[in-house]
Amino acid sequence: GNSVTQMEGPVTLSEEAFLTINCTYTATGYPSLFWYVQYPGEGLQLLLKATKADDKGSNKGFEATYRKETTSFHLEKGSVQVSDSAVYFCALCHSGNTPLVFGKGTRLSVIA
């Protein structure tokens, strides 16, 4: 079946450090890939997405590239801020109304 594997957290970084959160997936065909973010006390929000191989999703300084050859969708940011502290979830789905499948989440803490 479809599944998503994320690097385990927590990840603690200093402000302005480079961030990478690894995500790999197992799925048939060509799923769409997503990163959702959950800030403390809030619901999950879509951060970015990519719907086909080699697509790059980007938002708020975050980027992730859909790599079909390595079945990966790693999240990156060049310079993190304290306000980026949150839990990040990688997810996938196939087209139409197939359910989103989430990874376990990676908690990021950024310290000043």
Partner 1 sequence: EAEVAQSPRYKITEKSQAVAFWCDPISGHATLYWYRQILGQGPELLVQFQDESVVDDSQLPKDRFSAERLKGVDSTLKIQPAELGDSAMYLCASSLTGNEKLFFGSGTQLSVL
Residues in contact with partner 1 by the rule CB under 8 A: 4, 32, 36, 41-46, 49, 89, 91, 93, 96-100, 102-105
User: Is the CB of 32 or the CB of 84 nearer to partner 1?
Assistant: 32
Minimum CB separation of residue 79 from partner 1 in Å reads 26
17 or 102, CB closer to partner 1? 102
Q: What is the largest CA-CA distance in the chain?
A: 43
Q: Is 56 helix (H, G, I), strand (E, B) or coil?
A: strand
**Which segments within 7-85 are labelled E, that is strand?**
11-14, 19-21, 23-26, 32-38, 45-50, 56-59, 62-65, 75-77
Nearer to partner 1, 27 or 44 (CB): 44
Q: How far is the CB of 78 from partner 1 (least distance, A)?
A: 25
| Beta carbon of residue 104, minimum distance to partner 1 (angstroms, whole number) | 5
Tokens found for residue 54? 């080699």
H/E segment holding residue 87: strand 86-93
